[in-house]
Amino acid sequence: MTPMLIANGITKQFAGVEVLTDVDFELNAGEIHALLGENGAGKSTLAKIIAGVHRPTRGKITLNGTPVEVPNPIAAQRLGITLIHQEPLSFPDLSVAENLVLGKQDGGPLSRVPWAKMTADARRLMDQLGVALDVTQPMRGLSIADQQMVEIARALASNSRVIIMDEPTAPLTPKEVGTLFTIARRLRDEGRSIIFISHRLSEVRELCDRVTIFRDGRKIATDRTDALTDADIIRLMIGRKVKDYSGSSTARTSDVAMQVSGLTLPGMFRDISFTLHKGEILGLGGLVGAGRTDVARALFGIAPALSGTITVGGKPVSIREPSDAIAVGLAFVPEDRAQAGIFRSLAVEDNITAAIPGKIAPNGVIRRAVERAHATDYVTRLRIRLASIRQQIGELSGGNQQKAILARWMLTDPQVLILDEPTRGIDLGVKAEFYEMIGRMAADGRAILLISSELPELLALCDRILVMSEGHLTADIHRADASEEAIMIAAVPQRERARA
């Protein structure tokens, strides 16, 4: 039997950074094939290349024995490849039936919309999937699970032979997951192929025939699911790549910097409690979507929690917006630098001094000399490489932009620093500099909450590591006991646990 789809030597670079290296991948007809790997291991990138969202830098794709080009998602659709997005790309104001066919009808702009046939076809597809859904209602207001069903129905409508599901179960209830699996198996039995991306090992085990494991942009292994134990899979996912960044002695003291108890935001996270000490680097691990960023945003007042208490320096505080958080000595380096961090078209200097109005303008008027002194001080201290301090920050490299954001927060002299994926998208050399800076800040007696998806980073830097899974804290691991396995086991969701 020739495989349904073969990807050969796929390599993908983004802005010169290689995220996928020489990957070979085979998908059989009538199988459900899992892609596994840590965040950023390359599994989603491969899926998106197959679905025409990205174009590979090198490599070729063969479908049913014929080499094909997949320049865009529409072409992929025509070839019979459908990617089901995590957040479905639908038209919320149009009906389910319309969403199923839009973009697929032939004919000119004035050609008739065949409502009756469209509705009947949609009903038939929904029946085929065994989903009870009124196809005339608008997409807006459907649950995520139902929206996914519509996307799957769309794949059927265009008679797709390859269906890619990117973490489809993350937002679903256990019951909905059951329905999804039933349908996935039925599609497989019809001879279609499904690529299933998930972090949940139990689901992979339950559903998938084979797994392919990725690490650092390379394919590590492909095997039958029942040939591997959970321990094997986790070992293959994390590999043996740890090189110790620092053996620096911990600066942790017994003084409490911040205490959080019972923090809850329904739908995001529930009952989060922990204590952060001065000089401590506290890691916060977990998979993407586990609620780590939401906790950070709540602590900083961007999307405050509904209940729970926060104590900073022994005093209970109420943080309703970021300025409250800054006032009590918190600082937050957000995950999404472009959207929430930098002011792209403004000077590096303005970016660095954005959070210290009181220092640069004690009576409302900006003191240029003071501002310049503060900014250049940190440009030197953090070794930010730039042509001029008046240069637009958008022209700097990602690492230097991130240093400028860090400089912005260091200038507020924070007691507690929350760093959300601070080294994402940053070159290796600069990364080492960041680790050194984080260590130095802790040594100065600041408390640091470090959110990271990179396990070696957490292991190398943190005194203690908290792990979140599906909105709950699932582990509190001391440095001495920490290992990649320990973190992953706590991070991988268990079916039994209810979502937050």
* Positions in the binding site for other proteins (CB under 8 A): 14-17, 72-74, 89-94, 98, 102-105, 107-113, 115, 140-141, 144, 171, 267, 300, 302-303, 321-323, 325-326, 332, 334, 339-346, 350, 354-355, 357, 360-361, 364-366, 387-388, 391-392, 394-398, 400, 408, 425
State the nearest-atom distance from the C-beta of 385 to other proteins, in Å.
8
Question: Of the two residues 233 and 290, which places its CB atom closer to other proteins in the complex?
Answer: 290
Question: Of the two residues 252 and 408, which places its CB atom closer to other proteins in the complex?
Answer: 408
State the nearest-atom distance from the C-beta of 20 to other proteins, in Å.
16
- Encode burial over 278-297: b for 16+ CB neighbours within 10 A, e otherwise: bbbbbbbbbbbbbbbbbbbb
Report d(CA 77, CA 413) in Å as an integer: 53
Question: What's the CA angle centered on 451, arms 202 and 255, to 5 degrees?
Answer: 120
Question: Of the two residues 285 and 414, which places its CB atom closer to other proteins in the complex?
Answer: 414
Question: Of the two residues 401 and 469, which places its CB atom closer to other proteins in the complex?
Answer: 401
Report d(CA 437, CA 422) in Å as an integer: 11
In Å, how far are 214, 411, 495 from 258, measured between CA atoms? 38, 20, 32
State the nearest-atom distance from the C-beta of 495 to other proteins, in Å.
22
How far is CA 151 from its chain centroid?
A: 22
State the nearest-atom distance from the C-beta of 245 to other proteins, in Å.
22
Helices (H), 239-336: 292-299, 322-327
State the nearest-atom distance from the C-beta of 130 to other proteins, in Å.
23
State the nearest-atom distance from the C-beta of 89 to other proteins, in Å.
4
Other CB atoms within a 10 A radius of the CB of residue 141 amount to 9
In Å, how far are 38, 64, 74, 126, 275 from 461, measured between CA atoms? 19, 48, 45, 51, 18
Question: What's the CA angle centered on 103, arms 179 and 149, to 5 degrees?
Answer: 5
DSSP state of 498: P
Strands of 216-323 (E only): list them.
218-224, 256-265, 269-277, 281-286, 307-312, 315-317
Other CB atoms within a 10 A radius of the CB of residue 173 amount to 14
Report d(CA 151, CA 153) in Å as an integer: 5
DSSP state letters, 205-227: HHH-SEEEEEETTEEEEEEEGGG
**Helix 230-238 / helix 484-491 crossing angle, nearest 10 deg:** 120
- Look at the block and give the residue holding tokens 């109005």: 357
Question: Of the two residues 2 and 115, which places its CB atom closer to other proteins in the complex?
Answer: 115
State the nearest-atom distance from the C-beta of 358 to other proteins, in Å.
9
Question: Of the two residues 238 and 426, which places its CB atom closer to other proteins in the complex?
Answer: 426
Question: Of the two residues 239 and 322, which places its CB atom closer to other proteins in the complex?
Answer: 322
State the nearest-atom distance from the C-beta of 301 to other proteins, in Å.
9
Closest to 284 measured CA to CA, from 462, 456, 460: 462
State the nearest-atom distance from the C-beta of 11 to other proteins, in Å.
18
Question: Of the two residues 106 and 244, which places its CB atom closer to other proteins in the complex?
Answer: 106
H or E stretch including 202?
Answer: helix 201-207
Question: Of the two residues 396 and 459, which places its CB atom closer to other proteins in the complex?
Answer: 396
Question: Of the two residues 405 and 477, which places its CB atom closer to other proteins in the complex?
Answer: 405
State the nearest-atom distance from the C-beta of 94 to other proteins, in Å.
6
Report d(CA 28, CA 208) in Å as an integer: 12
Give the N- to C-terminal CA distance of the chain in Å, as an integer. 45
State the nearest-atom distance from the C-beta of 351 to other proteins, in Å.
9
What residues have CB less than 8 Å from 117, skipping those under 6 apart? none
Question: Of the two residues 140 and 383, which places its CB atom closer to other proteins in the complex?
Answer: 140
Report d(CA 363, CA 369) in Å as an integer: 15
State the nearest-atom distance from the C-beta of 44 to other proteins, in Å.
16
Cα dihedral 285/290/293/295 (nearest 10): -90
Report d(CA 291, CA 267) in Å as an integer: 9
Report d(CA 153, CA 34) in Å as an integer: 21
Question: Of the two residues 400 and 453, which places its CB atom closer to other proteins in the complex?
Answer: 400
Question: Of the two residues 303 and 443, which places its CB atom closer to other proteins in the complex?
Answer: 303
State the nearest-atom distance from the C-beta of 494 to other proteins, in Å.
23
